[in-house]
Amino acid sequence: WAEIKYANKVRLAKYIKSTTGVSVNPAALFDVQVKRIHEYKRQQMNIFGVIHRYLTLKAMTPEERKKQQPRVSIFGGKAAPGYWMAKQIIHLVNNVGAVVNVDEDIGDLLKVIFLEDYNVSKAEMIIPASDLSEHISTAGT
């Protein structure tokens, strides 16, 4: 099972590198939230959690950082054409990634990826590689 999981993570890491230019460590925990972008799906809450993790890592000493589990936070989805807030959430995820992914202090401890145009074909590659699947919608939705 572990060999298959790792092979799926390597495949996704190669796809991420080819589409975004960001190198991710396949041995890191892949924290995935892929679904239609909408306020009630709480992608915004998730990216705020990523920002908190980043700031916490930045406040640590290099020795403390060595004890941390590397994580790749992967977001994916589509926004309805007229849904302004959903587009703002995507913009926020990409901006957080633009800061985190080039921070030499953090390195492979945290990466933030947004995969565009999420669809069934991409799901077949992303979901088998995920270690943690985020489903944080409000109750009843």
Distance of CA 76 to the CA centre of its chain: 8
Q: Which residues of the chain have pLDDT under 70?
A: 136-141
pLDDT on residue 1: 84
Outline where DSSP puts E strands in the chain: 29-34, 71-76, 110-115, 132-133
Structurally, at CATH architecture level, domain 2-133 sits in: 3-Layer(aba) Sandwich (3.40)
Model pTM score = 0.90
